Structure 1
Amino acid sequence: MASRPWKSVRARTTLGATLVVAVALLIGAFSFYGILSSSIHASAERAAEQRLEELTERLDGPGGGPGGSRGIDTLDDELVQIIGSDGSIRSASEDARDDLGSSALPITDDPRTVRIDGKPMLVVSDDIGDDQTLVLAVPIEDDDETLSTVALLLAIALPLLLVLVAVTTWLVVGRALKPVTRIREEVDGITAERLHNRVEVPPSSDEIAALATTMNRMLDRLDASATAQRRFVSDASHELRSPLATIRQHAELAQTHPATTSIDELADVVSDEGLRLQGIVESLLLLARLDEGGGTHDESIDLDDLALGEVRRLRARGVDVDGSGIHAARVEGDPRLLGQLLRNLADNAARHSAGRVAISVIPQDTWVFVTVEDDGAGVPVDERERIFERFVRLDEARSRDAGGSGLGLAIVQGIATASGGTVSVDASRWGGARFVVALPLSD
């Protein structure tokens, strides 16, 4: 059942090629037959007219006899008559007397085909003076037989050629589609558990090889996506299980030893872990919306106002923040998402800094560069790409203690990408981490 589509393509291709060749052959055959027929008839007419001229010169020459009739009756194997103006036969060759008797050949200005005794004859005539006309009839039976033979050969050859074309096309198309069928069968056998399998690329370096290479690239993307999804589900399950386990442990402790656990202490634990759960769930939902490319409301935003708001927020927490590099810049985007981007970067810098943080907004040409840097331990060079992956924490214990879930920088990258920009990380001027977000300026 799975191979029927390819067989259908094979049949349609064969039928289409055969029909095209059939039309071409029919047109060619009719054209060839028409040209050959015209050529043969023209040749016969020229030969008859040339023979008529010879007879006319012979009768008009010395010894031709009165009225040019002398010598006509001695001609053999030719139908020749001299006909008077009254339609009577003045003289005739021996074959004309035997075959025609007293019947006169038709007089015509142009060559004309008639049947005599059931045989086709080409009749030509010419005036020879004294109100007489020399009429010659030339047999063209051989010409008709030649044309009949050609027509028979064409009638036999055309179907044979069409059969040959159909068989050849069927075999060639089948051979061409065979690698495609093999690729289809291989891809059809690749399931979610076998995404590591790849299609064999033929060494032909043609379109089939390009198709196999494209399929392998698609499988690479699917495999990477499935691997990332499995890791994401595993990490999300782990992150969600941790606060739930903490709440359960304190609840069980309160049940077992109610005298040692106060209601206020239990309420604080449940509240803190509940907020942590809420943050993780909201982050996951935000990432899901960013992956789908929806949930945004673009408008013109003063990016410097958002940055100054983060400076004030961090200073209120006692963090030393340098905001002198913030300049006016407007971008098109979702204010909620861009505010989340700046907040995540600011919180990340405050969490890892030794005491100093700097935030700057610098427009340049058609872009604006938002920089957030700190004086912390920084990010190792080999970790600067991985740090934007979901649930990645370079300092696991410190991130948990500070309430981090490993989703903040992944959200930053998702928002930057959704806003048409990029995000990168390198070393700050103090040796810590410097995050640079590039966004297109508003027109």
Structure 2
Amino acid sequence: MAEPGRLRALRRRFREALGRVAGHPRVAALVNRLDPSSVRTRTTLAACASVAVVLLTASAALLLVLRANLQHTVETGAREQAAAIARLATDGHLTQQLPLDHGTDFIQVVDAHGTVIAASQNLAGHPVLPPTGTQSGHSTFNLGVLGDEHHQGVTTVTADTPDGPVTIHVGASLRTADAAEDLTTAALGGLCSLLLVTVGVLTWRTTGRALRPVEAIRSEVAAIGDRDLDRRVPRPRSQDEIARLADTMNAMLERLEAAGARQRRFIADASHELRSPLAVLRTQLEVARTHPDPEVRADMVAGALQDTERLQDLAGDLLLLARLDASGHRLAGEAVDLADLVRTIVGARTGDPHPVTVDTPDDADATVTGNALWLGRLLTNLLDNAQRHARHAVTVLLVADPPGGRLTLDVTNDGPPVDPADREKIFERFARLDDARSRDDGGTGLGLPIARDIASVHGGTLTVLDTPSGTTFRTTLPTAADGHR
């Protein structure tokens, strides 16, 4: 009863030992490298298989050519000796015992009655060799009487003698040909095996060395979390595809880091922008609730309504920004007559502190492809910004350039110019160059960023520049014909 228990214990120890070996880091790494699904293993197997097919084909062709040449040499010697014996038989000089040339195993001459009339010494006194079949166009014979079994080629010719026709069988030894073929086969087998092993090792090492930077990039990317976007993947010293892959990955990480920073800054700014009016609104409502004077309560409620409208506008701007971010770089929409849209929006505005002059083309094609509501919001935001900063007047100029496939929309105010260092900052979300004035005028710090994002999703641009008439916000958009190309 103790024996089965001992066997179970041995099997358990064996399994534990296998588990420890399999769990060793080096063994695990080797198993991972030998994974058939890995690029390294598949590349090595493909290289070895391709080389093996080429080597087998070349070896088979070489052996066939070698075999054909050796057999041709042996058969040529046998035919020459058979021809010499045929001449002797024709001249009537045939003797009963015939000498063998080098490479010839036997000679046997048989008359028309099946009687042996001449033979080589090793077949003296033996009957006619019985044929056992044909091979390669030649008859084969049972040569067991010679006491030496090996591959032979038999050549048979006929000749006319004074005593009648005779048949001459000359057997030539293929022992040398067989030995050469066997030696060549063994040499080719060894060389092909060595070459396959060499190709496999070189391919394995070369592929591993080539994929080592890729594995380093993969490991680094796998280790990068949403809070580690400042990390970068290692770039190899070479100038190949892997180096370009590393550059692309690092550029992507830089974009992700910048996008994350913008998102965090945007969330912080949005929280601040929402918290301030909410605090003011709550204070106004609390004061209005407890204040005994009805007139003061009415003023507090009116102020609360203004802050509520400001919160509503801010929430709408945030929602529009989220929709613009989700829409991508281009927007597929309907055909919009930009000239008509400009005239309609400017004509519908009331209560602006400064007059607006509009100049749009009457005969040129000013059609763009996009969202009419968003394009109207772009122009409205630019006009609101121009009204806040203008001194006396605002100008809207629309220029169509059909050869270039672009439309240019300029909104100009005669207010103070924008410093060149701040021309990109004003397009950042919640950015204000004059914070107090923007708050007093009801700005949320999102008008210009929304306008630029709308231009971007329509395939256009929005920039600010100084012109003789003042500060100009220039929007360029592709025409409908250019947008469908």
TM-score, scaled relative to structure 1: 0.88
Matched, 1:23 2:61: no
1:184-223 alignment runs, 5 A limit? 184-223=218-257
Report the alpha carbon displacement of residue 208 of structure 1 after superposing the two structures with TM: 1.6
Counterparts in 2 of 1:360 and 1:5: CA distance versus 1, 3 Å: farther
Shift in Å, 1:46: 1.4
- Do 1:88 and 1:104's aligned partners in 2 also have CA atoms closer than 8 Å? no
Q: Which residue type is aligned with residue 103 of structure 1?
A: V
Q: What's the counterpart of residue 402 of structure 1? A: 441
Q: Which residue of 1 aligns with 2:374?
A: 337
Residues 397 and 4 of structure 1: CA distance in aligned 2, closer, same or farther (over 3 Å)? farther
1:322 to 2:354 alignment = no
Q: Provide closer, same or farther for how the CA distance between residues 6 and 330 of structure 1 changes in structure 2, counting only shifts above 3 A.
A: farther
Tell me, in whole angstroms, the C-alpha distance in 1 between the residues paired with 2:278 and 2:306.
11
Residue 54 (structure 1) shift = 3.7
**Any idea what the Cα deviations from partners look like across 1:50-70, whole Å, max 9, x if unmatched?**
23334444666xxx6xx2314
RMSD of aligned alpha carbons: 3.0
- Which residue does 1:36 correspond to in 2? 66
Aligned to 1:291, the other structure's residue is in SS state: helix
Match of residue 116 from structure 2: 89
Question: What is the distance in 1 between the residues matched to 2:197 and 2:122?
Answer: 50
Structure 2 counterpart of 1:94, one-letter code: Q
| C-alpha contact 1:121 1:137 (8 A) present in aligned 2 | yes
Task: State the match for 1:129 in structure 2.
Answer: 160
- Does the CA contact (< 8 Å) of 1:310 and 1:346 recur in 2? no
1:47-100 alpha-carbon deviations (Å, 9 max, x no partner): 21123334444666xxx6xx2314x625256522332122212222322316xx
User: 1:358 corresponds to which residue?
Assistant: 395
Q: Which runs of 5+ in 1 are unaligned?
A: none
Q: Is the 8 A contact 2:152 2:174 kept in 1?
A: yes
3-state DSSP class of the match of 2:245?
Answer: helix
362-371 or 252-261: bigger deviation = 252-261
Report the Cα distance in structure 1 between the residues aligned to 2:340 and 2:224, rounded to whole angstroms. 52
Per-residue CA distance 1:132-183 (angstroms, 9 max, x = gap): 2333222222222332333344455544544443333333322222211111
CA gap 1:141/1:279 in 2 versus in 1, 3 angstroms: same
Instruction: Please give the alpha-carbon distance, in whole angstroms, between the structure 1 residues aligned to 2:334 and 2:233.
Output: 46
Q: Secondary structure at the match of 1:403?
A: coil
Count of matched residue positions in the alignment of Structure 1 and Structure 2: 434
Query: Which residue of structure 2 aligns with residue 120 of structure 1?
Result: 151
Q: Is the 8 A contact 2:352 2:387 kept in 1?
A: no
Residues 188 and 38 of structure 1: CA distance in aligned 2, closer, same or farther (over 3 Å): same
Does residue 433 of the first structure (1) align with residue 471 of the second (2)? Answer: yes
- Check whether the contact 1:89–1:104 (CA below 8 A) recurs between aligned residues: no
**Deviation digits for residues 363-397 of structure 1, max 9, x if unmatched?**
22133222110100121122222222211112211
Q: Is the 8 A contact 2:237 2:243 kept in 1?
A: yes
Partner of 1:301: 336
Which position in structure 2 is the counterpart of 1:421?
A: 460
| Larger deviation, residues 311-320 vs 432-441 | 311-320
Structure 2 vs 1, CA of residues 53 and 20 (structure 1 numbering), >3 Å: closer, same or farther? same
Q: 1:169-318 residue pairs with structure 2 within 5 A?
A: 169-254=203-288, 258=292, 262-293=296-327, 298-314=333-349, 316-318=351-353
Offset of residue 260 of structure 1: 9.5
Deviation at 1:115, TM superposition (A): 4.8
Give the C-alpha shift of residue 410 in structure 1: 0.8
The change in CA–CA distance for 1:141 and 1:125 in structure 2 (over 3 A counts) is same
Cα-to-partner distance string for 1:191-239 (whole Å, 9 max, x where unaligned): 2222111122111111221111111111111111111111111111111
Q: Which amino acid aligns with 1:102?
A: P
Q: Alignment partner of 1:30: what SS?
A: helix
Residues 4 and 217 of structure 1: is their aligned pair in 2 closer, same or farther, counting only changes over 3 Å?
A: farther
Work out which of the residue numbers 99, 118, 142 in structure 2 matches 1:75: 99
Local SS of the residue matching 1:68:
coil
Displacement after TM superposition at 1:272 (Å): 0.7
What secondary structure, in the 3-state scheme, does the structure 2 residue paired with 1:119 have? coil
Percent of aligned pairs with the same residue? 36
SS in 1 for 2:232: coil
CA contact (8 A) 2:89 2:160 kept: no
CA gap of 1:212–1:324, structure 2 versus 1, over 3 A, is closer
